[in-house]
């Protein structure tokens, strides 16, 4: 499918954002470069671009680089330089680092974002990309010519920022490697989550809930090897009173997850969409303090904060339902694995 539908859908949610940030994640859009990491980078100036490119050249083989195609529209102004690179780690650098390829790449992304002034990698996965800007999401979609991309999964977000000023890097989705998160809500566990995840080598630079959720997903999935169902049981853990009623084996598992990953529990209202290679997970906080609706039509799944955002692009749905708090909805492309 193309990016047209997601723009149309998020436009209905116009009043849920205030024009201070909008964005999209699109999966399956770079089939010709699917074995390379696609870095999308904002630069404040040509100087930061030069410094960043020198860093990239020292660590990666750059297969292709170009400006990300955009179109001028009135609603989107003050854009930074926006570039895209398809890269693969230099074999010598990679073996010297004694890291696996994904960890090496993630470390380089953190290096750019924390050490190179004026450069910000906002997308770094394979065969996927994040596109974001300050503006209403439907305008951001047109700005990035999203309708010209073909992919298997799209997510979108319109911001109503309360904690941090609107800037291009601060818009959702947040992405690291092929994980992307869009998030509606404000989590009360932020600083507990932040201080815990920073112990494992992540740097939270943006004071934003969504950033820390992205790192938690990356940590639990990539570093700890949890499945997405298990990740849901960590970040929106069942209440102890629920766990106590479970069968012994299930109970032991959930108790184990809560004890070990107590600092990755997320409280406060959230509904999140987690994109990953081959699929998508939607999840509400365990009290369901945010709305979320799922619609299905044949083999296509739609998930939105409001049913209206689904109906605008698919009126004839097979089913429409609301997941319970803490109940993950995991959708995979055929043959995909969670």
Among 121, 153, 181, 226, binds another protein (CB under 8 A): 226
- Token pair recorded at residue 192: 């507990």
- Token pair recorded at residue 43: 């630069």
How many residues sit in the footprint of another protein (CB under 8 A)?
A: 41
What DSSP state is assigned to residue 48? H
Binding positions for another protein, 114-173, rule CB under 8 A: 162-163
Yes or no: say if 87 and 62 are a contact pair by the CB < 8 Å rule.
yes
**Given the complex with another protein, which of 124 and 267 has the nearer CB atom?**
267
Least CB distance from residue 145 to another protein, whole Å?
Answer: 33
What is the Cα–Cα distance from 337 to 44, expressed in whole angstroms? 39
Distances (CA, A) of 201 to 25, 194, 258: 25, 11, 21
What is the longest distance spanned by two Cα atoms in the chain? 60
Distances (CA, A) of 203 to 40, 41, 87, 136, 196: 19, 18, 23, 28, 11
Least CB distance from residue 330 to another protein, whole Å?
Answer: 16
Tell me if 196 contacts another protein by CB under 8 A: yes
**Given the complex with another protein, which of 35 and 191 has the nearer CB atom?**
191
Region binding another protein by CB under 8 A among candidate stretches 7-15, 18-26, 85-93, 260-268: 260-268
- Stated length of the chain: 338
Tell me if 321 contacts another protein by CB under 8 A: no
Phi, psi of 287 (to 5 degrees): -95, -5
Yes or no: say if 271 and 183 are a contact pair by the CB < 8 Å rule.
yes
Tell me if 329 contacts another protein by CB under 8 A: no
Region binding another protein by CB under 8 A among candidate stretches 85-93, 104-112, 174-182, 184-192: 184-192
DSSP 128-141: EEEEEESS-HHHHH
Tell me if 262 contacts another protein by CB under 8 A: yes
Least CB distance from residue 250 to another protein, whole Å?
Answer: 11
Region binding another protein by CB under 8 A among candidate stretches 3-11, 23-31, 144-152, 248-256: 248-256
- Residues lying near another protein in the complex (CB under 8 A) are found at 162-163, 185-193, 195-196, 198-200, 224-226, 230, 237, 239-241, 252-253, 256-260, 262-263, 265-269, 286-287, 289
């Amino acid at each position: 499918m193309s990016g047209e539908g997601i723009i149309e859908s998020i436009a209905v949610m116009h009043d849920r954002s205030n024009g201070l940030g909008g964005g999209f994640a699109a999966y399956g859009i770079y089939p010709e470069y699917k074995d390379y990491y696609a870095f999308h980078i904002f630069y404040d100036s040509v100087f930061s671009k030069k410094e960043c490119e020198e860093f990239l050249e020292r660590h990666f083989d750059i297969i292709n680089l170009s400006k990300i195609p955009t179109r001028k529209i009135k609603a989107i102004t003050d854009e930074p330089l926006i570039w895209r690179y398809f890269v693969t780690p230099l074999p010598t650098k990679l073996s010297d680092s004694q890291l696996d390829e994904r960890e090496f790449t993630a470390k380089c992304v953190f290096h750019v974002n924390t050490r190179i002034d004026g450069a910000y990698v906002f997308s770094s996965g394979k065969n996927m990309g994040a596109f974001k800007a300050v503006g209403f999401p439907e305008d951001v979609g047109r700005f990035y010519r999203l309708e010209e991309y073909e992919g298997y999964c799209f997510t979108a977000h319109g911001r109503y920022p309360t904690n941090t000023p609107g800037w291009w890097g601060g818009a959702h989705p947040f992405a690291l490697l092929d994980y992307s998160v869009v998030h509606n809500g404000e989590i009360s566990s932020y600083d507990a989550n932040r201080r815990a995840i920073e112990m494992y080598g992540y740097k939270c630079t943006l004071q934003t809930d969504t950033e820390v959720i992205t790192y938690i997903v990356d940590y639990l999935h990539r570093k700890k090897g949890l499945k997405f169902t298990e990740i849901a049981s960590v970040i929106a853990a069942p209440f102890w009173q629920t766990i106590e009623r479970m069968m012994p084996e299930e109970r032991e598992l959930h108790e184990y997850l809560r004890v070990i990953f107590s600092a990755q529990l997320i409280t406060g209202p959230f509904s999140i969409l987690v994109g990953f290679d081959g699929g998508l997970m939607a999840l509400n906080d365990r009290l369901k303090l945010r709305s979320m609706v799922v619609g299905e039509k044949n083999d296509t799944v739609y998930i939105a904060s409001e049913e209206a955002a689904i109906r605008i692009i698919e009126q004839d749905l097979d089913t429409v339902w609301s997941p319970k708090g803490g109940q993950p909805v995991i959708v995979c492309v055929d043959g995909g694995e969670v």
